[in-house]
Chains A and B, each alone.
Chain A
């Protein structure tokens, strides 16, 4: 515990140390990143020790009057801690080149300060054993993330995204306060202890409060803007870890409601399934690389919630196998998503860094100009589509295995399998389409703009974190047996409050070792195929030429299939959810019609069609209240007096 607290303190101070150095040099940046990486290394070591069985609890009585602050490290916390430190350190190193103070003197220090604060406060949140510390970590992380994401606040879009994020996270905090006050009322303490016969209100508040942070559809409204406009390593941290705080909260709090009925799990499951499918559908409609990745976070949070929902429902209905599979899938997918989404955001950031644009239809052919970034993005893309032999496949397979198990059981849980299986299959196939679109349009083909043609590769400080994350994705995918003990420890930590029998080890429920064999066989066959092709091409004449244009001899880069065209037919199928907008200008007549543009985009119904109009309506009503707004001090004092009289009258 001491090491963990030391790591948290170091991470929190990492940005402050940099303040002592001039903004023109690189020393300050290096100190900030170095301290954060050191903190992360120590913290990771301590988290691994916790996973190995060295759980700890620390009670600080009397720091806050009437409340005992508690820190509690168990395997579940440790999983999230490890994720925080790994992604945090990767982003810090990446930031050295992506956002150096010499090039961004006005915002680099703010970013370093807030980045360290987010990492530290998230670690504190995962360690919190009582509601008060949890909320402190939650709030500091939220504010820190707001400061980090608005680093480039000269852009109106960034300011707007930051504001929306702030509103949403504040709303979430309010809901969480209500949630934890139920604990206070029922147990008389702020400690996060098991709650029997929890009222349904707990579920509603938890889903709304944590769902806001996690980005569950339709509470995801802040997420695309915030992740899209933040500096890329901040996007990676937010998507990889920050939104996982919502997942952690849901897992922890719903785990504490030990006798929650089956319907709770089913609700969480339904939310997850709709989030997964709709998240990926909206992602397909995006033209902005980072906004697209952000919608994929909504999708993956949905997959995680499907697992959690199945575990909750199965716990209520007494099928331990499904609890193991559901929760193991949820937790492993949380890790996996943290890794591959951080990787994708870092690679996406490298694209922004190298070309200066995030618009897919301005990119193209980057695999030639930025081969390392292209390879990293490809690894992330294969992983996020859940394709073998990478890590996304392992967690999705665990979830599918749970669905199949539910199908073969005769109990009522089989509905979860019947709904979840096709939903996950649809999600996976659509994710594949989406990443084929992104990778094909941005990295393959010919450059569609000057910027893409002149793209420059990124340096070592940006490549190294991507390489580490990519290797982790491959490692978990090829040797998933390595994470089995971690998941076992986390599962037993989760089921400890319900005091139930220990869950069986994951290895006995699902043969994870088989997947290593499958990966090996796949790599072997791929190598054989590559050898065959290489051998055949070596022994026969080779030629190169332009792409076959079906008879047309002057192909232009602008004639390539665009991201919008690629997505058009799927978006047509899901028009009932996406409300695509197309502006179709009239084509001029005459022998030389003037150039014209076809433009289409997908709105976010939750934000553009519900929240924004509602907020505008509310603003109208509130303007009316301007009339009673105090214009002088005397009137203010009068209102104050009225309020006090009212309060006394209520007593």
Chain B
């Protein structure tokens, strides 16, 4: 059966996933900032605040640097489009993903890569030293996060015998036969999530000093709708990685609404965990970041060794 036929067969699932992917991302951000505010003893912004921010940005005017070319505008568009397409590859509320084929996990990684490539280029397009610096850091860390992600997937492939994300994540083997390897891969993926989404301890999304920023500094010159698209894309990427983690842990009941609810609860739990981690850890010294990413790779390697006994 062609993977595109899947789309038709699972129309309700596809719609549910589209709604989730389009609406949930800013909410997750809202949950995280709420948790962080609580830890700091503050009330915190309303849960819908990130959604409102994006909405307002989309209606605002835009200032463009005179140095830039069309690549600067393409950055946000490519980042958002690739993330959206990639999130259709991940099984979320259902056992199957809207788009699934043997080897789709590679497509996932490379779609995110395409988005990153253009985000980095858009930063370089401004000719700003700060943005170039952020771009270099982002690209460097991604180079270390990518093998960790892939090693984790390989362990999943070896355990489940399936070559697609849906096969690896949506069937029980990863959970049942998991045990120690599962925990290792989970930790590794969580580190990758923090790195790929520029969270503490890698990057502080709320920092105010350009020299210490990574992701934020790359988008300094974007404004208005372009910035809105960037924030939206970043939130969607966080949802995507959270979904990977939730799916590794959550079994299926087979009942549509129960599964969707359980998945939403899982997302909430991941967002809260991120908030707790961000509130209780300090940022790593820049030069020590690669060590953490390499240890994520090593965790996945250990998982691989354990599952291949």
Binding site for B on A (CB under 8 A): 364-365, 367-368, 374, 378, 382, 385-388, 393, 396-397, 400-401, 403-405, 407-408, 414, 417-418, 421-423, 425-426, 428-430, 432-433, 435-437, 439-441, 444-446, 510-511, 513-514, 517-518, 521-522, 525-526, 528-530, 532-533, 536-537, 540-550, 555, 557, 559-561, 565-570, 573
B246 at the interface (CB under 8 A from A): no
Q: Which 3 A-B pairs have the closest CB atoms?
A: A561-B132, A440-B124, A445-B127
B157 at the interface (CB under 8 A from A): yes
User: Told that A445-B127, A517-B3, A536-B58 touch, could you supply 9 new A-B pairs with CB distance under 8 A?
Assistant: A382-B117, A388-B107, A430-B143, A439-B124, A510-B102, A529-B81, A536-B224, A547-B67, A566-B132
Instruction: Select one of A397, A533, A547, A560 contacting B229, CB under 8 A.
Output: A533
Q: How far is the CA of A546 from the CA of B123 in the complex (A)?
A: 14
Identify 27 residue pairs between A and B in the complex whose beta-carbon atoms are under 8 Å apart, listed by A's number. A367-B125, A388-B111, A404-B154, A407-B154, A408-B157, A408-B162, A423-B147, A429-B113, A436-B121, A444-B69, A444-B124, A510-B103, A511-B101, A514-B3, A518-B107, A525-B81, A533-B76, A536-B59, A536-B224, A544-B63, A544-B65, A544-B66, A547-B65, A550-B220, A561-B133, A565-B136, A569-B137
Given A404-B163, A426-B147, A540-B225, does the pair A385, B113 have CB atoms closer than 8 Å? Answer: yes
Given A388-B114, A537-B224, A544-B66, does the pair A422, B61 have CB atoms closer than 8 Å? Answer: no
Q: Choose among B60, B103, B145, B149 the residue with the greatest number of A CB atoms under 10 Å from its CB.
A: B103
What B residues does A540 contact at CB under 8 A?
Answer: 59-62, 224-225
Q: Choose among B58, B67, B158 the residue with the greatest number of A CB atoms under 10 Å from its CB.
A: B67
Asked whether B224 lies within 8 Å of A440 as measured between CB atoms, the reply is no
Asked whether A444 lies within 8 Å of B127 as measured between CB atoms, the reply is yes
Asked whether A542 lies within 8 Å of B61 as measured between CB atoms, the reply is yes
What A residues does B237 contact at CB under 8 A?
Answer: none
Asked whether B64 lies within 8 Å of A544 as measured between CB atoms, the reply is yes
Binding site for A on B (CB under 8 A): 2-4, 58-69, 71, 73-74, 76-78, 80-82, 84-85, 99, 101-103, 105-107, 109-111, 113-114, 116-117, 120-121, 123-133, 135-137, 139-140, 142-147, 149-151, 153-154, 157-158, 161-163, 210, 220-221, 224-226, 229, 290, 297, 304, 308
Q: How far is the CA of A567 from the CA of B143 in the complex (A)?
A: 12
Asked whether B121 lies within 8 Å of A547 as measured between CB atoms, the reply is no
Looking at the assembled complex, report how far the CB atom of B130 sits from the nearest CB atom of chain A, in whole angstroms: 6
Given A541-B61, A561-B132, does the pair A440, B125 have CB atoms closer than 8 Å? Answer: yes
Looking at the assembled complex, report how far the CB atom of A34 sits from the nearest CB atom of chain B, in whole angstroms: 36
Instruction: Select one of B69, B107, B127, B147 contacting A547, CB under 8 A.
Output: B127
Asked whether A367 lies within 8 Å of B69 as measured between CB atoms, the reply is yes
Asked whether B78 lies within 8 Å of A566 as measured between CB atoms, the reply is no
What A residues does B136 contact at CB under 8 A?
Answer: 433, 437, 561, 565-569
Looking at the assembled complex, report how far the CB atom of B266 sits from the nearest CB atom of chain A, in whole angstroms: 26
Given A405-B163, A433-B143, does the pair A382, B124 have CB atoms closer than 8 Å? Answer: no
What B residues does A439 contact at CB under 8 A?
Answer: 121, 124
What A residues does B116 contact at CB under 8 A?
Answer: 432
What B residues does A517 contact at CB under 8 A?
Answer: 3-4
Instruction: Select one of B71, B107, B143, B162 contacting A444, CB under 8 A.
Output: B71
Asked whether A561 lies within 8 Å of B2 as measured between CB atoms, the reply is no
What A residues does B80 contact at CB under 8 A?
Answer: 529
Asked whether A543 lies within 8 Å of B62 as measured between CB atoms, the reply is yes
What A residues does B210 contact at CB under 8 A?
Answer: 550
Looking at the assembled complex, report how far the CB atom of B64 sits from the nearest CB atom of chain A, in whole angstroms: 5
Looking at the assembled complex, report how far the CB atom of B46 sits from the nearest CB atom of chain A, in whole angstroms: 24
Looking at the assembled complex, report how far the CB atom of A508 sits from the nearest CB atom of chain B, in whole angstroms: 12
Instruction: Select one of B76, B128, B135 contacting A548, CB under 8 A.
Output: B128
What A residues does B128 contact at CB under 8 A?
Answer: 547-550, 555, 560-561
Q: Choose among B68, B124, B153 the residue with the greatest number of A CB atoms under 10 Å from its CB.
A: B124
Asked whether A386 lies within 8 Å of B62 as measured between CB atoms, the reply is no
Who on chain A is nearest to B145 by CB? A429
Who on chain B is nearest to A424 by CB? B150
Asked whether A546 lies within 8 Å of B146 as measured between CB atoms, the reply is no
Who on chain B is nearest to A529 by CB? B77
Who on chain B is nearest to A446 by CB? B127
Given A404-B102, A408-B157, does the pair A432, B127 have CB atoms closer than 8 Å? Answer: no
Asked whether A514 lies within 8 Å of B101 as measured between CB atoms, the reply is yes
What B residues does A365 contact at CB under 8 A?
Answer: 67, 127
Q: How far is the CA of A535 from the CA of B32 in the complex (A)?
A: 31
Q: How far is the CA of A540 from the CA of B74 in the complex (A)?
A: 19
Looking at the assembled complex, report how far the CB atom of A464 sits from the nearest CB atom of chain B, in whole angstroms: 22
Looking at the assembled complex, report how far the CB atom of B138 sits from the nearest CB atom of chain A, in whole angstroms: 9
Q: How far is the CA of A518 from the CA of B105 in the complex (A)?
A: 13
What B residues does A417 contact at CB under 8 A?
Answer: 154, 157
Looking at the assembled complex, report how far the CB atom of A441 sits from the nearest CB atom of chain B, in whole angstroms: 7
